[in-house]
Structure 1
Amino acid sequence: METIIQVKDVGKTFIGKDNRVEALKGINLEIHKGEIYGIIGMSGAGKSTLVRCLNFLEKPTTGTVMIEGKDLAVLPERELRQTRTQIAMIFQHFNLLMQRTVLDNVCFPLEITGQKKKEARGRAKELLEIVGLSEKAKAYPAQLSGGQKQRVAIARALANNPKILLCDEATSALDPTTTKSILALLKDINKKYGITIVIITHEMAVVQEICTHVAIIDGGTLAETGTVEEVFTRPQTPAAKALVFQNGGNHQQMKGKRCIRIVFKDHSSFEPVIANMVLECKAPANILLADTKDIGGVAHGQMILQLPEDEIIAGKMIHYLKERKLEVEELSNYVG
């Protein structure tokens, strides 16, 4: 696949009067054309700094950012501005111009690039139709819901036919139902127009809903990368595990010696495998966590079980589950 964004050894240091903060340290990423790529991390992990480095709103202290093979750091100012028009961005709080109508908000980036008013308005009307807001062309942002404001922001971002769309916590201010509709719109835009989308978020559910690949940022470093399915099924690092388990609810520290995580997918989600295991092994297991995710349209479930302290019975249970082709991961110190 063709690489559209390449990040090589990128670091970003902010220096104040009394302190020095390394927001990013040695980040390496490769994003391919047409992907929906997730960058996820907890608050303060450095993910928003990273996305601002992708379009040089923040210039990296070290390393290289390449867009379609061009090193942004060495481009002449005029060429850098031109390249930036191909990298659109939408934000958590929409950033609409409150004194302008919806139509005029969408026209704004076209005005900046010198497009004639009639052509700009025609293009803006097309974009409002794409995002399902044709009837709101004459409304003002204050008259819109949060989801409608984000749709206007998406239409505005698409005005100059960008190749890349950066979404910085674009659904964080929205309720779950509206979030789903915005993610569905982004997915549709990606499919129809082939725009590469980079989603910055702290919510694993957003990544699982829309992304094909994911990078996990932790403390300014790259903790883990892979397909969304790989990371959900077999998280390798503490940062990845914290994000995969983040909606597990509150459980007390387990007291059993053995705790396992099982991942269900495809047909295994519909089998009463835990009930059958308990009957087969003639011993109970304590369910600490259970949930289901939709990843790429396929249901994936996970369950964390506390096994009996008897090592022979616990081993028998693990063997039973593995025989049924389930992903089984032994956890040494799970706390929900």
Structure 2
Amino acid sequence: MEPIIKIEHLDKWFKVKDMDVHALDDISLDIYKGEIYGIIGMSGAGKSTLVRCLNFLEKPTSGDVIIDGRNLAKLSNKELRATRKDIGMIFQHFNLLMQRNVLDNVCFPMELVGVKKKEAREKALEYLKIVGLEEKAKAYPAQLSGGQKQRVAIARVLASDPKILLCDEATSALDPQTTKSILQLLKEINQKYGITIVIITHEMTVVQEICSHVAIIDHGKLAEHGLVSDIFTAPKSKEAKKLIYQGYEHVSEMKGNRCVRIVFSENSSFEPVIGNMVLSCKAPVNILYANTTDLNGVAKGEMILQLPEDIVIGDQMIEYLKKAKLAVEVLEDYVG
């Protein structure tokens, strides 16, 4: 199956005053139809530049962006405009028309392509029903909460019947509970309509909540990419580890000690693995951190253990945990 979005050796340079800034450096990614794909990185990593290159709002300096088999660099302006109709976009600050009510905001993209007013209003009401805001049709954006504004923005995008939805920090301005509800809505839209969703974010929790795949961008380069579950369980790059382990800084005791991070499989979650290991190895461990993370609807347990100073016993414990089919990673080189 061909990817619906294919990025090949993408580079983007900007001229800032007297400096040349390399915003994207040889990025290559495949995103397949129906996926919810996360692109994550810290501020200034290049992720927003990347998403703007996906619809040629920013033209790459070199490389190719191929959408549903069409190379955007080789399209005429007319062909590019037609292709962009398949690519919807929602933003952090909603971009609603403040002088129009909710219904008219959703109608707006249909007006631009000549849909008759009656048909547009009927469709707009359907889309508002999908996002749970049918009763707010006559309200104005100033009368809505942040979450409601984002739902209107999503309904407006759906009015264009996109194949692809790009979300650029779409939940960054929202509180955690509202963020969760918007992510759930996006997941339902993905499942119901098969729309491919690309989520740009700096928050690992957003990726873990909704995405099946993720690409980690750092200083314009692709640090790591793959299944969210694989990267969460065993991150390979320094950048991935920084994002996965960002909740551990408060564990000051970890510094200078031999610590391991373990991730529980579905089977091991029901067994007293740590207790059995302590009994088997006849030595205690210190549990520094424990958490359960929701990875796209699947609960994953993780722990940070401080092992005994005795190297032999510590090695025995690591071997025990691996035989119990837990993912085990020694953290002493980069945590604390």
Structure 1 position 194 matched with structure 2 position 180: no
Contact 2:233 2:263 in 1 (8 A): yes
CA-CA distance at 1:257 after TM superposition: 5.0
* Corresponding residue for residue 210 of structure 1: 210
**What is the DSSP-based 3-state SS (H/G/I as helix, E as strand, rest coil) of the residue aligned with 1:217?**
strand
Query: Which amino acid is the alignment partner of residue 311 of structure 1?
Result: I
SS in 2 for 1:170: coil
Hey, what's the Cα distance between the residues in 1 that align with 2:17 and 2:249? Answer: 41
Q: 1:300-315 to 2 correspondence within 5 Å?
A: 300-315=300-315
Letter in 2 for 1:29: L
State the match for 1:29 in structure 2. Answer: 29
Kindly provide the CA deviation profile for residues 271-293 of structure 1, in whole angstroms up to 9, marking residues without a partner as x.
33223322322222223332111
2:68 — aligned with what?
Answer: 68
Query: 2:266 matched to which residue of 1?
Result: 266
Q: Is 1:254–1:334's contact at 8 Å kept on the other side of the alignment?
A: no
Quote the Cα distance in structure 2 between the aligned partners of 1:7 and 1:132: 35
Q: Secondary structure at the match of 2:293?
A: strand
In the superposition, the TM-score normalised over structure 2's length comes to: 0.97
Are 1:48 and 1:200, in contact at CA under 8 Å, matched by a contact in 2? Answer: yes
Q: Which sections of structure 2, spanning at least 5 residues, go unmatched? A: none
Opposite residue 300 of structure 1, the aligned amino acid is: K
Match for residue 135 of structure 2? 135
Tell me what 2:243 maps to.
243
Cα shift at 1:254: 3.2
Name the structure 2 match of 1:4. Answer: 4
SS of structure 2 residue aligned to 1:265: coil
TM-score, normalisation: structure 1: 0.97
| Alignment match, 1:181 | 181
The answer for unaligned runs of 5 or more in structure 1 is none
Residue type of the alignment partner of 1:78:
K
Q: State the secondary structure of the residue aligned to 2:248.
A: coil
Post-superposition CA distance 1:226-265 (Å, at most 9, x none):
1111111110000011111122241226355532111112
Contact 2:163 2:195 in 1 (8 A): yes
Compare 222-231 and 13-22 and name the one that shifted more. 13-22
Q: Could you list the per-position Cα deviations for residues 99-158 of structure 1 after superposition, in whole angstroms to 9, with x for gaps in the alignment? A: 110001101111111222111111111100111100000000111111111100000011
Distance in 1, matches of 2:115 and 2:246, equals 47
SS of the counterpart of 1:93? coil
Q: Quote how far apart the aligned CAs of 1:69 are.
A: 1.1
Cα distance, 1:84 vs structure 2: 0.4
SS in 2 for 1:114: coil
- TM-superposed deviation, 1:335: 2.3
Percent same amino acid among aligned pairs?
70
- Deviating beyond 4 angstroms after TM superposition, the runs of 4 or more aligned structure 1 residues are none
